[in-house]
Amino acid sequence: MKIAIIVLLSLSFVYATKFSSKYHTTGELNDELESLSRSCSFLSLSNASESPLIKEVSINRNQNKKYRAYILFGEHPRELISPESGIHFLNDLCYEKTDPKNKQILDDFELRLILNANPLSRQKVEGGEYCLRENENGVDINRNYDAHWQKVQDDVRQVTSGPNPFSEPETRAVRDSLKAFNPDIFLTVHSGTLGMFTPHAYSTDAAEQNEDKMMDILNDISGKYCPSCDVGVASQAIGYLAPGSCVDYAYDELKIRYSFAFEIYHGSINLEEQLKSRQHSSFLQLTGQQQSTKNRKFEHNNNHSCFLQTSSKYDMSKEECFDYFNPDSSQYDWYVQNWTEAYQEMLLKLVQEEQ
């Protein structure tokens, strides 16, 4: 009995140490947002949902904006690095506003962000349930949008669509927020693989409108910030169809011409490997040898992507799940900075594409 207690206490210490080293709790994320709203005159907060409480961030430095951008973080609670990259992006905009990239973004864009789209389940992850993908009702909210929705019930893979489209308060909150804001560009951020995807997820068909411009943006970003990323049509990259996703809802139902899904961390590719890949990509660009992303063969390393979950909470330990979806403390700073720069580049490239 004593041995069992010691083991449980040891595991609890490991989980707490992993989480507390760099990552924010839900309360800390909300506190930091409140702090930013006080110190950053162009940032304001509202509630996209009261129950569960989902905070919505608005950034608008002046009234003469040309473009509107919407970024969604934290749909799957175990993907802790997603909201972490979002809070870093916000801090950079607020405290480095004289940086040329941030200045142009603040001049050209009004932004709307949801940092923590699945707060109740995230709190369970904070308590050690590091494999949890679904919301409090056992629904994968990235299968619950009214975009080619199909009823799916797969508890093993944690891919359950819910009883009907928008059955979940989280997806209703995102739906209402998106409709009210009417953005020019939509991005949802996940982890579990490395990828930058365009519609569609429900079919193998590429986007009918604006595909070339979307691919121009992703080709540029991947070369600079994620040479290891699969890039292209979501379903083709993951090798599987995923109905009811937010990226298809944004593109097909709301007609948001630039709609993307990013996967920003893969547990089997460490920081050193990615840095080497990035340096190698830069060399190939200089020598004119880099393979065109449009012709890249997808690796299908996406077993744990935001669309496809071929493994389950039952065949990975809690510690393995944390490490698979999230960088450790030694890699954390590099990842949040790298992806902050990628989000900035995405917005600036849109301006170039629209000129």
Contact 149, 248 (CB under 8 A): no
Residue type for position 68: R
Take residue 302 and report the two structure tokens written for it: 């996406």
Which of these is catalytic: 79, 168, 170, 263?
263
Three-point CA angle 272, 322, 135, nearest 5°: 135
Residue 354 designated active-site: no
Question: Is the Cβ–Cβ distance between 349 and 101 less than 8 Å?
Answer: no
How many whole angstroms from its chain centre is CA 219?
A: 18
Q: How far is CA 144 from CA 135, 139, 161, 163, 321, in A?
A: 11, 8, 5, 9, 23
DSSP conformational letter for 253: I
Identity of the amino acid at 100: P
Cα dihedral 165→119→316→261 (10° resolution): 60
Classify each residue of 200-232 as buried b or exposed e, where b means 16 or more C-beta atoms within 10 Å of its C-beta. bbbbeebbeebeebbbbbbbbbbbbbbbbbbbb
Report the distance separating Cα 232 and Cα 238, nearest Å: 10
Task: Return the half-sphere exposure (C-beta side, CA atoms, 13 A cut-off) of residue 75.
Answer: 30
Three-state SS at 58: strand
> What amino acid positions are annotated as catalytic residues?
263
